[in-house]
Amino acid sequence: MTSLIHLSDLAGDSDLHQSLQGGAVSIGNFDGVHLGHRALLERVRWHAQRVGGKAIAIVMDPHPASVLRPHGAPPSLTSLARRAELMSSSGIDHLLVCEATRDFLNQTAEEFFQRLIVEQLSAKAIIEGPNFFFGRDRAGNTTRLKELAAERQIDVEIVVPSVRDERMVSSSRIREAIASGDIVLANQMLGSRYRLTGVVTTGEQRGRTLGFPTANLGGVKTLLPEHGVYAALTCGEGCEGPTNHPTAVHIGPNPTFNDHQETKIEAHLLDYDGDLYGKSLSLTLVSQVRGVIKFADASALKQQLQIDLQTVRETVSSLQSRS
C-alpha cells in the first residue's frame, strides 16, 4: 500500500527521512490518478527498481491555485487518501505531501529543486510529463529540469501523455466530463469509477414516506456531477462489501416538492435495510440515468422511481457480469 507522508514529518523521524533517500520521484497534483498519471507512475516504479530506492509521488496541498488564486482553484476529484489508495496499483511506495504555503510556493525553480529534490530526497531519477512546471511563477519547465538534474547526475524521463479520442487525458478534461454528467467517459479516462465519499446525515425522510428510503450524504469535498439520477455502487461502514449494493443516487434539488435551491446527495441502496446514520459511505458512480425532473405529484414521482431502480439494477448487473 502507498503510505501517505507529510514533508513536515521528516524533520522528526530520521529513519523515515533516510528511507526516502535515493529513489525515483515525480511531482504533480495527481488529482484523480487517471490513466495518464498511472502510465507516468509506472515509470516511477521502474526507475525506483533500477536505482534501488523508493518510488515517490509528490503533491502540494492545498492545490497551489487555492493559495495564489483562491477563486480560481479547480474542484478536487480525489482526496489525498484516495490518491494514495489508487497509486498502490502502480507500485508507488510513498505519497509525499508538501504544504503549499506562500513561502513554499515563492521558491525559485532552483531553490525548489535544490531543497526538495536534492537536500530532502537525494533523488536519483525524476519522471514528469511534458507540461511540468515548477518554482515561483512556474518559471521552471522540463528544459530547466533537465539542466538542473544534469548538474547533479540525476536521471530525467519525460513521459508522453496518454490520449483518448485524440485528446490528452487530463484532470481538467475529466472534470468537464463529470460536470456534464458523462460519468462513463470520466471513468474511462480515470481507469476507475469516480467516487463520492461523505457521512450519512438525517434528511427530511421524504424518500421513506414514498417507499424509497435514502441515505443523505453530507460533507462531500470532491466535485459533484451534473444534477441528475445516477447508477452507482455503494461501499463503506455498514455495507458487506464494496460491490454488494446497487444504488440509485439523486444529486440536486427536489423540484417536485418545491425545493429548487439546495443540492442534495440522496442514495437509495437496493436490497439493503440497515441503519447508516453517522457512518462513512462511498458512492462509486457508473452512469447517469436521467436528469432532475419536476413531477406533477408524488404519485408520478413514485412511478418514475420504480423505472429508475430497474434501470439501475440492470446497469449494475450488466457491469458486474462483465467483471
Q: Is 4 exposed, middle or buried (0-12, 13-18, 19+ CB in 10 A)?
A: middle
Q: What are the tens digits of pLDDT across the range 99-150?
A: 999 999 999 999 999 999 999 999 999 999 999 999 999 999 999 999 999 9
Q: What are the tens digits of pLDDT across the range 175-214?
A: 999 999 999 999 999 999 999 999 999 866 565 556 678 9
Mean pLDDT estimate for the chain: 92
209, 279: one domain = yes
Strands (E), the chain: 3-6, 24-27, 55-61, 94-99, 125-128, 155-158, 163-164, 167-168, 195-201, 215-218, 228-236, 245-254, 259-269, 280-290
Tell me if 174 is assigned to some domain. Answer: no
Q: What pLDDT, on a 0 to 100 scale, did the predictor assign at position 70?
A: 83
126, 224: one domain = no
116, 16: one domain = yes
The number of folded domains in the chain is 2
pTM passes above 0.85: yes
Q: What pLDDT, on a 0 to 100 scale, did the predictor assign at position 312?
A: 96
Provide the residue range defining the domain that includes 50.
3-158
265, 315: one domain = yes
Q: What pLDDT, on a 0 to 100 scale, did the predictor assign at position 149?
A: 98
Give the CATH number of the domain where residue 79 resides: 3.40.50.620
Q: What are the tens digits of pLDDT across the range 2-29?
A: 999 999 999 889 999 999 999 999 999 9
Phi first, then psi, for residue 283 (nearest 5°) are: -115, 115
Q: Which residues, 6+ apart, have CB-to-CB distance to 287 below 8 Å?
A: 183, 184, 230, 231, 315
Q: What pLDDT, on a 0 to 100 scale, did the predictor assign at position 71?
A: 84
30/48 Cα distance (integer angstroms): 18
Q: Residue 242 — pLDDT band, cuts 50, 70, 90? A: very low
Tell me if 34 is assigned to some domain. Answer: yes
22, 153: one domain = yes
Q: Residue 73 — pLDDT band, cuts 50, 70, 90? A: confident
Of 67-71, 74-78, 250-254, the one with minimum mean pLDDT is 67-71
254, 203: one domain = yes
